Amino acid sequence: MTDPAEQILQLHRLYVEQTGHAVSLGFDRERAWFDFLARGWTEDDLRLVIEKIKSGIRRGERRPGALKFRNLIVQLDYFDEDLAEARAAARVKRMDPARAAVLRATGRSDAPPSGTAKAVSEVALKVLRDFMEQNK
């Protein structure tokens, strides 16, 4: 297992590299990184959240201040929320553009499946209604 002091240095270097914010690593920031590690988070988690925030900034949905050390690392509850959001977004399946084009060309939806399942009773009721409508 890596030495916590070395992990803190690596995390801080990664933060500076990814954000461009060349902030010093004083005792207060070391403590923030220690708390970050105590929650079980990793460099990959930090990368994921920073990239998600930077993407939001590019789209105008987030402000650059979201990458400030005090906002991103010191307030770990905010990091936790950003991490959960970034992980959820990473799980969303993106439809291949070529497949979407074929589906549109054949008159089918180009939207990926919503993942919202219907109750069996709802489907059965629709089938029954359709059947009765056809056999009037």
What is the per-residue pLDDT across 71-126, written as a single tens digit (0 to 9) for each? Answer: 999 999 999 999 999 999 888 767 777 777 777 777 776 555 555 667 778 778 88
Q: What pLDDT score does 135 carry?
A: 85
pLDDT digits (tens, 9 = 90+) for 18-51: 999 999 999 999 999 999 999 999 999 999 999 9
Map out the domains of the chain as residue ranges. 4-91
Q: What pLDDT score does 119 carry?
A: 75
Q: What pLDDT score does 43 carry?
A: 95
- Helix, strand, coil abundance in the chain, percent, nearest 5: 70, 0, 30
Cite the beta strand spans of 60-122 per DSSP E: none
Q: What is the pTM of this model?
A: 0.67
Among 65, 86, 2, smallest CA distance to 37 is for 2
User: Which tokens hold the place of 87?
Assistant: 């992980």
Please give the full DSSP string across 25-72, using - where no structure is assigned.
--HHHHHHHHHHHHTT--HHHHHHHHHHHHHHHHTTSS-GGGGSHIII
